[in-house]
């Protein structure tokens, strides 16, 4: 009976903590929903599209049909860009605007009509930071080439057959005309479908892949997770350091400080600055380890200056959020519970746990407003998406929007924390 009494005491303690009891039930559902949204339909519905740039240098009727077929695919979102050379798309990829690009070469349509020559290959240019995008683009191109260019590919195979075997008989010519018109008329006859399938196996449009040089060293996903993990643990350290205020409040230390003339703002700013210092040291240690162990490179003057501005801002954002959660909590235990759940949710939707390129557009739109997403994007611009041609001004210009949002969020959090802490009794 005594052991049962201990169990009953544990249940009473849990039941009295209604917030904790609710979180035990809600949090697993929230995380299941996030991960199910990301992985449940990836690549199989219109939500999970990967943005891919398109540069059509051929501008022929055949390339137009190919592009139209690719645009109807559910796996990629094609965005047309302008340029006269295949390398024109590299600048956009190297700057992080697109993870991959498709180039339709000049003369592509003409090569389809020439049975004696090789088909000009389509080209996929990609950033290795996103291993999903080039594979999606390749799969879509292979399917779209047959869907949009069936008549040209079948006609080419028939002309090759004529060159090898001689003129077709009237019956063969009729079959050839039927085969070429079948894709356009949507004929579903099994014999036609089988014949078209067999010809399609030999009538493939070649697709080449070219990796675009991005960054200055290290595997790109290592660089990504250097930023992602750094931001997540900066949030956890901010929760820990700001939570000491609640311990001091429970011990009566803050009441004695108020009696000595130290106001709420002084206590908030003191703990806020300390949390920033801890966060800055933490990210410096992580960057140093990433450079020494994993070859992450950020040693140019423009990168170091950008990091010197960005890292304290990110640390301030984490500290501000920690201060707000601390101010709203009633006990240290409550602060730990609410803070941990908040950080985990922000990390899940903001890119610290799951790379944003895996997320459907709806979840990505929500995640873009998370502290993690803004911070990771800015750190990625400095650590990965930088080229020898970048200037300090250009780099600061790219991270300025993220810095502005983080600063504004920090101010709001600090004001909220100050108002909450002033009501502590």
Mean per-residue pLDDT for 35-41? Answer: 65
pLDDT in tens, 281-321: 999 999 999 888 888 888 888 999 999 999 999 999 999 99
pLDDT of amino acid 320: 94
pLDDT in tens, 239-261: 989 988 888 777 777 777 677 77
CA distance 176 to 179: 5
> Percent of the chain scored above 70 by pLDDT?
74
In SS3 terms, 325-388 reads as HHHHCCCHHHHHHHHHHHHHHHHHHHCCCCCHHHCCHHHHHHHCCCHHHHHHHHHHHHHCCCCC
Q: Is the pLDDT score of 197 beyond 80?
A: no
Of 103-112, 126-135, 149-158, the range with the lowest mean pLDDT is: 149-158
Mean per-residue pLDDT for 349-361? Answer: 79
* Beta-strand pair 207-211/122-126: parallel
Mean per-residue pLDDT for 211-222? Answer: 69
pLDDT in tens, 259-285: 777 776 777 888 899 999 999 999 999
Confidence of residue 174 (pLDDT cuts 50, 70, 90): low
Mean per-residue pLDDT for 139-143? Answer: 84
Of 169-178, 201-210, 243-252, 366-375, the range with the lowest mean pLDDT is: 169-178
Q: Is the pLDDT score of 194 beyond 60?
A: no
| Strand extents, DSSP E, 196-348 | 207-211
Q: Is the pLDDT score of 326 beyond 70?
A: yes
pTM over 0.75: no
Q: Is the pLDDT score of 14 beyond 70?
A: no
What would the two tokens of residue 337 be? 């519970």
What would the two tokens of residue 186 be? 């949507």
Compute, in degrees rounded to 10, the torsion defined by CA atoms 71, 77, 82, 86.
-90
Mean per-residue pLDDT for 31-48? Answer: 62
User: Can you list the domains of the chain with their CATH numbers?
Assistant: 50-211 (3.40.1710), 220-422 (no CATH)
> Percent of the chain scored above 90 by pLDDT?
20
pLDDT in tens, 230-241: 999 999 999 989
Q: Which residue has the higher pLDDT, 329 or 157?
A: 329
Helix (H/G/I), strand (E/B), else coil: 103? strand
């Amino acid at each position: 009976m005594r052991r049962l009494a201990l169990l009953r005491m544990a249940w009473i303690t849990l039941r009295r903590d209604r917030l904790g009891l609710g979180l035990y039930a809600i949090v697993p559902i929230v995380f299941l929903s996030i991960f199910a949204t990301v992985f449940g339909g990836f690549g199989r519905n219109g939500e999970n599209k990967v943005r891919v740039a398109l540069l059509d240098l051929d501008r022929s009727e055949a390339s137009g049909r190919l592009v139209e077929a690719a645009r109807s695919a559910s796996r990629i979102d094609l965005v047309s860009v302008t340029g006269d050379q295949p390398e024109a798309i590299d600048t956009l990829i190297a700057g992080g605007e697109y993870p991959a690009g498709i180039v339709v070469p000049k003369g592509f349509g003409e090569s389809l009509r020439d049975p004696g020559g090789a088909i000009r290959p389509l080209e996929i240019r990609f950033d290795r930071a996103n291993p999903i995008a080039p594979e999606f683009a390749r799969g879509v191109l292979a399917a779209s080439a047959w869907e949009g260019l069936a008549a040209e590919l079948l006609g080419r195979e028939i002309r090759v057959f004529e060159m090898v075997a001689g003129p077709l008989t009237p019956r063969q010519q009729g079959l050839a005309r039927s085969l070429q018109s079948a894709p356009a008329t949507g004929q579903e006859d099994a014999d036609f479908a089988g014949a078209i399938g067999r010809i399609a196996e030999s009538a493939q449009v070649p697709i080449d892949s070219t990796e675009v040089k991005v960054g200055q060293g290290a595997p790109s996903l290592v660089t990504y997770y250097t930023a992602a993990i750094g931001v997540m643990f900066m949030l956890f350290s901010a929760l820990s350091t700001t939570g000491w205020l609640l311990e001091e409040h429970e011990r009566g230390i803050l009441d004695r400080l108020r009696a000595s003339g130290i106001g709420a703002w002084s206590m908030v700013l003191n703990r806020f600055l300390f949390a920033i210092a801890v966060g800055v040291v933490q990210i410096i240690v992580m960057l140093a380890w990433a450079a020494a162990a994993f070859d992450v490179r950020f040693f140019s003057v423009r990168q170091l200056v950008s990091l010197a501005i960005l890292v304290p801002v990110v640390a301030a954002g984490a500290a501000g959020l920690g201060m707000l959660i601390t101010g709203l909590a009633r006990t240290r235990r409550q602060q730990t519970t609410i803070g941990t759940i908040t950080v985990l949710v922000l990390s899940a939707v903001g890119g610290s746990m799951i790379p944003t390129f895996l997320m459907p557009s709806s979840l990505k739109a929500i995640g873009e407003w998370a502290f993690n997403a803004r911070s990771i994007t800015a750190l990625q611009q400095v650590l990965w998406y930088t080229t020898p041609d970048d200037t300090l001004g250009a780099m600061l210009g790219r991270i300025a929007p993220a810095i502005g949002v983080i600063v504004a969020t920090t101010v709001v959090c600090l004001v909220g924390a100050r108002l909450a802490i002033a009501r502590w009794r």
